[in-house]
Amino acid sequence: MKPLLFMLLCSSSALLAQQQWPTAECDKTAKKLQRLEQKISSGYSLKEAEQLTQDQRQLEKQLDQFCQKPVSASDPQKPKAKKITKNKAAPDPLTDIAKGPQLYVSSVSVKAPYQGKKLQAWLEYYSEPKQCFGVRDSRQMVWCVEQRQQAKANFERQWQQKFALSQPE
């Protein structure tokens, strides 16, 4: 990681006199920051922690200072102050994230024992006993599970009776 920092300092020292860096330099710095952030998100040792966060802060600071309006390499003759930029919509940072290989999609599915009206009826019927909140004792957990199973069996029985009564013969 130290060679990366050294290269960054050496390459940036020549450009410190400029108000804004060339686009290519800004792109390189942004890529370095992206690689560093990938390294941070993938995990690192305790020894590396301080250096990684310091490097990250430095790269972010450089991008903020020198890459707000990067100088185009094709127009070195034009003065920086007179450079006119078209009013383009700011690029959406989420598009780069969506394209990247580091995007992982996961799905969560919740399987409830009941759906629709039956779920609503269950929620109205059953309320967890107060002694079952934040339980750590295994005997208490067993008791809570048994209470829930009994309540579920009673609810099923009542639901079936209600359903049987509402069916015309």
Domain spans, the chain: 2-72, 116-166
Q: How confident is the model at residue 90 (pLDDT cuts 50, 70, 90)?
A: low
CA-CA distance, 126 to 133, in Å (whole number)? 14
pLDDT at 156: 92
- 116's torsion region: left (phi>0), alpha (psi -120 to 50) or beta? left
Distances in Å between the alpha carbon of 129 and those of 115, 125, 141, 145? 23, 12, 12, 11
**pLDDT: which is higher, 109 or 53:** 53
DSSP reduced 3-state for 93: helix
pTM higher than 0.85, yes or no?
no
Instruction: Identify any residues that bridge with 71 across adjacent strands, giving them in sequence order.
Output: 22
For residue range 35-78, list pLDDT tens digits in order: 878 877 777 777 777 788 788 888 888 877 888 777 876 655 44
pLDDT at 15: 46
- With tokens 């560093």, the residue in question is 36
Q: Chain centroid to CA 140: how far?
A: 37
pLDDT at 153 over 90: yes
For residue range 1-24, list pLDDT tens digits in order: 565 555 555 555 544 455 788 888
Mean pLDDT of the chain: 75
pLDDT at 39: 79
Burial of 25 (0-12, 13-18, 19+ CB in 10 A): buried
Indicate the residue type of 49.
Answer: A
Percent of the chain with pLDDT over 90: 12
pLDDT at 134: 84
